[in-house]
């Protein structure tokens, strides 16, 4: 195994994953981060892409195998962090079912993961939001925007603890929903972003891309606020403004299994990057 190949020569255990799109070093010793960096430099310097490819071929280094390594590291309680993975998209884009598919998949692989969603309707703040969405209460647009944001802030430290203890979080909607939905009402987008700054930045944003018209055809909307074609068109435009380099856009009109396949690969690479030392950072929303 590469763990042996590299680990033995360097004197501590390592694991290495490889991305089809290019070389990706996934060194996850979980011990001394400076050692990890040194090792990463060492590997970058001395192991060429070609030799990585052939090492992978000769050792039959499959994705499944790497997942097994992650599983082993988890059970060995190695100190590596989980990934913060957010799914975004219009209502009826398929986020909720893809989130639960991803969660089951990670569970099957023995990767510690939890399924989260915003709004989290279980808290007091979440119940106020839920009643607003169900048209059972009226709130000013600014007030409800701040409640959505507070609902994320009240979960921030738990989120950080989970991630630091190695649990990957699959999150159904996050700050981007907050900004896209409120700014679609005509509120200033910079004002909408402000309360989100300082929350944890996702390691990966998976945007399930579907036109508002296609989404509307999917079994119709429920009775909640915002679930109308005209409004969803505006939300879709706002989401476009928010896209940045950390987003991955997935065609949500593909068959469910194809979407799932793409998501699995992106999630896998992200989990490896986090285990490889990618640090948690605050959300900036430029
Ligand atoms: N929503 C969701 C917002 O307006 N702001 C937010 O910050 C979040 C997280 O709530 N139509 C809207 C988007 C949805 C609605 O979400 C309820 P869901 O995922 O349908 O339960
Ligand atoms: Mg919905």
Q: State pLDDT tens for residues 214-241.
A: 999 997 788 899 999 999 999 999 999 9
pLDDT tier for residue 125 given thresholds of 50, 70 and 90: very high
The C-alpha atoms of residue 200 and residue 161 are separated, in whole angstroms, by 11
**For residue 91, how far is its CA from the centre of ligand 2 (angstroms)?**
5
**For residue 245, how far is its CA from the centre of ligand 1 (angstroms)?**
23
Looking at all shown ligands, the one closest to residue 119's CA atom is: 1
Question: Is-contact 56 1, C-beta < 8 A?
Answer: no
CATH class of 81-275: alpha beta
pLDDT value at residue 223: 87
pTM of the model: 0.79
**For residue 121, how far is its CA from the centre of ligand 2 (angstroms)?**
13
Query: Is residue 178 in contact with ligand 1, taking CB distance under 6 Å?
Result: yes
Looking at all shown ligands, the one closest to residue 151's CA atom is: 1
Task: Looking at the CA of residue 227, tell me the nearest atom of ligand 1.
Answer: 11
pLDDT value at residue 229: 96
Query: Is residue 232 in contact with ligand 1, taking CB distance under 6 Å?
Result: no
Residue nearest to atom 16 of ligand 1 (CA): 119
Mean pLDDT of the chain: 81
In the chain, pLDDT over 90 holds for what percent of residues? 69
Would you say residue 73 has pLDDT above 70? no
Q: Which of 48-57, 109-118, 141-150, 151-160 has the lowest mean pLDDT?
A: 48-57
**For residue 260, how far is its CA from the centre of ligand 1 (angstroms)?**
22
pLDDT value at residue 75: 62
Question: Is-contact 242 284, C-beta < 8 A?
Answer: no
Would you say residue 38 has pLDDT above 70? no
The C-alpha atoms of residue 198 and residue 156 are separated, in whole angstroms, by 10
Which sequence spans correspond to the domains of the chain?
2-64, 81-275
pLDDT value at residue 86: 98
Place of tokens 């679930």: 227
Average pLDDT rounded to a whole number, residues 140-146: 99
Residue bearing the bigger pLDDT, 2 or 195? 195
| Distance from chain centroid for Cα 150 | 20
Query: Is residue 91 in contact with ligand 1, taking CB distance under 6 Å?
Result: yes
**For residue 176, how far is its CA from the centre of ligand 1 (angstroms)?**
10
Query: Is residue 126 in contact with ligand 1, taking CB distance under 6 Å?
Result: no
Residue bearing the bigger pLDDT, 122 or 47? 122
Average pLDDT rounded to a whole number, residues 73-82: 73
């Amino acid at each position: 195994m590469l763990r042996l190949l590299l680990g033995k020569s360097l004197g501590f255990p390592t694991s290495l994953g490889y991305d089809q799109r290019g070389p990706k070093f996934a060194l996850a010793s979980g011990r001394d981060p400076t050692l990890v960096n040194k090792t990463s430099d060492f590997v970058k310097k001395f192991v060429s892409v070609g030799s990585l490819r052939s090492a992978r071929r000769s050792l039959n280094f499959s994705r499944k195998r790497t997942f097994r390594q992650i599983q082993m590291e988890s059970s060995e309680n190695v100190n590596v962090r989980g990934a913060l993975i957010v799914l975004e998209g219009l209502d009826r884009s398929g986020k909720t079912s893809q989130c639960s598919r991803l969660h089951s998949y990670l569970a099957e692989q023995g990767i510690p993961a939890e399924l989260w969603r915003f709004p989290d309707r279980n808290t007091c703040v979440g119940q106020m939001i839920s009643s607003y969405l169900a048209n059972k209460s009226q709130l000013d647009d600014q007030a409800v925007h701040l409640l959505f944001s507070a609902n994320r802030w009240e979960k921030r430290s738990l989120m950080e603890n989970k991630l630091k203890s190695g649990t990957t979080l699959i999150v159904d909607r996050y700050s981007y929903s907050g900004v896209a939905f409120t700014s679609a009402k005509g509120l200033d987008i910079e004002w909408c972003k402000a309360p989100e700054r300082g929350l944890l930045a996702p390691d990966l944003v998976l945007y399930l891309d579907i036109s508002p018209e296609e989404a509307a055809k999917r079994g119709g909307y429920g009775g909640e606020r915002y679930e109308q074609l005209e409004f969803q068109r505006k939300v879709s435009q706002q989401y476009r403004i928010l896209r940045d380099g950390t987003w991955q856009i997935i065609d949500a009109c593909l068959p469910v299994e194809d979407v799932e396949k793409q998501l699995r690969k992106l999630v896998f690479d992200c989990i490896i990057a986090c285990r490889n030392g990618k640090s948690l950072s605050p959300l900036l929303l430029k």
